[in-house]
Chains A and B, each alone.
Chain A
Amino acid sequence: MIEIEILGTGCVKCRRMKKHVEEAVKDLGIKAKITEVNDINEIIRRGVMSTPSLIINGELKSHGRMKSPEQIKKMLKEYL
């Protein structure tokens, strides 16, 4: 089970990032727990200053950028 956290303050980009993550997870047919972190203090606590950011199994994989479903799949594959 992979844990994915999407950090974002609710802007358009962050919501699209969530969609892309869901798409990637579905395509790979894996089990994953997807959480959105919206609270700004929580985001900072994870050491991130720019959103949207992506954390997989506690590891920061991308920050301040949108990622395409393809790119997200590539990142997820490392954890399979």
Chain B
Amino acid sequence: MGNIVYDPLISGLNNLLEYLSQHTLTCLIPAFFIAGAIAAFVKKDAILRYFGPDVKKRVSYTVAAVSGTVLAVCSCTILPLFAGIYKKGSGIGPATAFLYSGPAINILAIVYTAQVLGYDLGIARAISAISLSMVVGILMALIFKEHDKKVVNASMNHINNEEPEKPRFIMLVFFSLLVAILLVGASKIGWAAKFSAIYLMTVAVSLILIYHFSRDEVTEWGYETWDLTKKIFPLLIAGTFIVGVIAYYMPPETFRPYLGGNSLVSNFIAAIIGAILYMPTLLEVPIIGTTFGYTSGVMGSGPALSLLLAGPAVSLPNMAVLYRIMGGKKTFAYITIVVAVSTMAGFIYGNLML
């Protein structure tokens, strides 16, 4: 009955179709447009000011913990920012806080997690990432006190943007509309109401674009959105397919002894897997949902959260860059703290959800 070549491929295709049909149109496409708009229109300079060496540490930590939402859509923004904060800004604490929370709270990650794995886990991921990032940062700052004394006082280069600012409320309306399209698209209202609402909002967005944005700006938005899509989407598609093929050979049941339930050990194993395994952006979601069987009820909610937290914060390629920026000892300490903190978060969440 079973065919060695055919069946695994079908399993991969089915998985891909399932993820595509359920989640792409309604949530990923609007999310990519929002992420593109953030990259193109949000002025980063305003936020960077809070990472200067003279800014109160309390402020820097807070900004570091939450600014990933708008700053961290892609790793090519995260790493230079991290290095800048670490070497010339507010020091090792806020830098590592930013590094930990950034990948977990960017708009694409939150939306995809919430949509596919459920709103409870999506919200838990965002809240834990924000609060724990401060714990990670403060621990690093306490362990490596001597680092911050050496931080160069030289402030960062800043240039005043000569471009005229757009009225604030225009930007507010613009982003609110984009988010509203995303929410309506993902909601469970009837299709007629849904389509007309989305249609009206799309028209409103185009009107704003026509009257308040220049041609260059709109092009840039298009480019940013396309860049992100090109960078993330093919890997996500290929990855989701492979996840399906793997599920054929290793059904989620395989992992039940290790990742089922909410024991401290299974949370710890999940955090370790997250730290070692390299997961391309967003692929952590199908890996947890299908491979480890969160969706089919095999993986506990605690381990799922541990993996979501430790996974994107540490991976082999980013370990290599971290090592070059801050050396072996600090990189090792960072990874250890990330694994420990993520394990605890998963453990607590898992027991709350029981």
Interface positions of A (Cβ within 8 A of B): 8-14, 16, 40-41, 43-44, 46-51, 60-64, 66, 68
Asked whether A50 lies within 8 Å of B44 as measured between CB atoms, the reply is yes
Q: How far is the CA of A14 from the CA of B74 in the complex (A)?
A: 13
Task: Tell yes or no: B45 within 8 A of A by CB.
Answer: yes
Q: How far is the CA of A11 from the CA of B45 in the complex (A)?
A: 20
Asked whether B79 lies within 8 Å of A9 as measured between CB atoms, the reply is yes
A-B contact pairs, 17 of them (CB 8 A): A8-B76, A9-B79, A41-B324, A44-B83, A44-B84, A44-B87, A47-B88, A47-B155, A47-B156, A48-B156, A49-B48, A49-B80, A49-B81, A49-B89, A50-B44, A50-B84, A63-B157
Interface positions of B (Cβ within 8 A of A): 44-45, 48, 51, 74, 76-77, 79-81, 83-85, 87-89, 154-157, 159, 216, 220, 223-224, 227, 230-231, 321, 324-325
Asked whether A49 lies within 8 Å of B85 as measured between CB atoms, the reply is yes
Q: How far is the CA of A64 from the CA of B213 in the complex (A)?
A: 19
Q: How far is the CA of A68 from the CA of B156 in the complex (A)?
A: 24
**Distance of A6 from chain B, by nearest CB (Å):** 13
Q: How far is the CA of A2 from the CA of B19 in the complex (A)?
A: 52
Q: How many Cβ-Cβ contacts under 8 Å join chain A to chain B?
A: 71
Asked whether A50 lies within 8 Å of B80 as measured between CB atoms, the reply is yes
B residues near A12, Cβ cutoff 8 Å: 227, 230-231
A residues near B84, Cβ cutoff 8 Å: 44, 48-50
Q: How far is the CA of A11 from the CA of B154 in the complex (A)?
A: 27
* Known contacts A40-B83, A66-B220; 15 further A-B pairs (Cβ under 8 A): A8-B76, A11-B76, A13-B223, A40-B324, A40-B325, A41-B324, A44-B88, A46-B157, A49-B84, A50-B77, A51-B76, A51-B80, A63-B157, A64-B45, A68-B216
Asked whether A11 lies within 8 Å of B156 as measured between CB atoms, the reply is no
